[in-house]
Each structure stands twice: as structure tokens, then as C-alpha cells.
Amino acid sequence: MEPTPYQRDLSPTHVARLGDAIDRLGRFLDPVIAVRAADGKYWTPNGHHRVAALNSLGAKAVTVLLIPEQEVAHRILLLNTEKAHNLREKALEVIRLAEGLAALDDRPERDFEAEFEEAALLTLGACYQQNGRFAGGAYHPVLKRVDKFLAAKLPRALETRRERAGRLLDLNEAVNAAVAALKARGFQSPYLKAFVVARINPIRFKRGAKAEFDETIDKMLAAAARFDAGKVKLDQLARSGGAPAEE
């Protein structure tokens, strides 16, 4: 029994918590989902942490619900309710899944909407692959409006995703420079990055307006380059509110 190759990284804390619960209860009552892999092994698209917890306790077997359709292994985002994903985990899972599918299936990226859930996750996943500390939460609201599933076949679409990730990482560097300028003026807040991104977002107040990825990022890069920390007042930062950017 192995996780799918696309799975998010194992959380040792969650495994320990599950192991302790199973040990204290003295039994295991929650079957995992399994499919047969091409090499004769079994993959679990739902139950990775439970299997790891059982392994830590020395279990020799586990009850599974065996699904005959292998493609169910590609629906991990829909299946995984055991431990809520954060944005980084979800994006990395989606980009890994896309890379795995690209070697098997060259249909257009947009044909995989059910598997990938959201186009922005592909671009964010490519960012996290290049920079594990990327603060994707600050950019996710913008990307959800401008990043769409592509008509290109999946292998070519992945190249576009990596190009978009490169541009987003360039934007992140410019935003980091603006945040540093604010800190140099004495501003200290967990909302600084979200504040800067909101200030340079050209579609922030254009509800329902359609915008393209490249055009939007171009405008944000230009706005970040013009950002003047000297014009920012403390009350503007206080009014920005919202959750701090996810690290």
C-alpha cells in the first residue's frame, strides 16, 4: 500500500495524532480508499496518513475499499477530507498530478478541470516547486480571476504554467522590495504583503471584469516598481484588514 505519486507530503504531527487515537481506541474503524496501480501494487488516494499511522503501530493489514477505476487516483482533491489542505499542499498536489498525467495523456489541460479543481493551483504549484517559502496566499485572489484552464495539450500547458510561475516569482520579488521599504519606515504588521498586493492589483475594484493573466501581471509589476512607501499612512494599513499572507 503506497500513496499516489502526486500526494501532498506526509504530516508527521497528523500521523502521530492518528496513531495515538488508534492505539488508545484499540482498533481501526475507518477504511482507506485503494486502487490497483500498473505495477501490481496498491495506491491510496485517500488514507495516506491513516496507513502511515498504522505502519507506525506495527499493523500487518488494513481494510480498504477497492475501487476498480484507476482514474479515481487522479481525483485526490475531491477524496481527501481526512486532513484539510492548506493552499501550499493543494497546489503542490495539483502540479504533481499534472506532471504525472502529462506522461500518460496529452489531452488539453482544460479537459482535466475535475482533477485539478482550479487553474490557479497549477501556477501556484509551479511557484512552490521553485520556492517552498512562496507566499501564495497573497496572490491567490488575483489568480482565481485571471488564471484559466488552457486549451493547449497538457505537456505544453505545463511549460506555460512554469513560465507563469516565473513571472509570478518576479512579481513577488518586487512586492518583497515594497514590503522592505514599508518596514524601513517603521511599519510592522503581518498584513504588509497582502496590503502591497492589494494596492497594486488593477482589478481589485472591478467586480466581474474579465482580465488576462499576462496583462494583469504586467500591470502589477509596473505598479510594484512605482510603489512609494513614503505615501502610505498607518490608517490605510489598518483599514486593509484581512488575513495575513500564507507563508
> Per residue of the chain (247 residues), what is the pLDDT tens digit?
788 877 778 888 888 888 888 888 888 877 888 888 877 888 888 888 888 899 999 988 888 888 888 777 777 666 665 555 689 988 998 999 899 889 888 899 999 988 888 999 999 999 999 998 999 999 999 999 999 999 999 999 999 999 999 999 999 999 999 999 999 988 888 889 999 999 999 998 777 667 899 999 999 999 999 999 988 887 777 666 544 444 4
Inter-residue contact 136 to 127 (CB < 8 Å): yes
Inter-residue contact 217 to 145 (CB < 8 Å): no
Kindly report the number of other CB atoms within 10 A of residue 37's CB atom: 14
Kindly report the number of other CB atoms within 10 A of residue 224's CB atom: 21
Euclidean distance between CA atoms 154 and 73, whole angstroms = 18
pLDDT number for residue 76: 65
Euclidean distance between CA atoms 87 and 91, whole angstroms = 6
Euclidean distance between CA atoms 180 and 191, whole angstroms = 13
First to last CA, the chain: 32
Kindly report the number of other CB atoms within 10 A of residue 38's CB atom: 8
pLDDT number for residue 247: 43
H helical segments located in 131-211 = 140-146, 154-184, 192-200
Euclidean distance between CA atoms 71 and 88, whole angstroms = 24
Question: Taking the model in full, what pTM does it have?
Answer: 0.68
CATH: 3.90.1530.10, 3.40.50.11890, 3.40.50.300, 3.40.1190.20. Which one for 1-84?
3.90.1530.10
What does the buried/exposed string (b/e) look like for 108-143 if buried means 16 or more CB atoms within 10 Å of the residue's CB? ebeebeebbbbbbbbbbbbbbbeeeebbbbbbbbbb
Kindly report the number of other CB atoms within 10 A of residue 79's CB atom: 17
What does the buried/exposed string (b/e) look like for 57-71 if buried means 16 or more CB atoms within 10 Å of the residue's CB? eeeeebebeebeeee
For the chain, state the CA radius of gyration. Answer: 21
The separation between CA 175 and the C-alpha centre of its own chain, rounded to angstroms, equals 20
Inter-residue contact 143 to 165 (CB < 8 Å): no
pLDDT number for residue 74: 74
Euclidean distance between CA atoms 135 and 244, whole angstroms = 10
Kindly report the number of other CB atoms within 10 A of residue 173's CB atom: 10
pLDDT number for residue 8: 74
pLDDT number for residue 242: 44
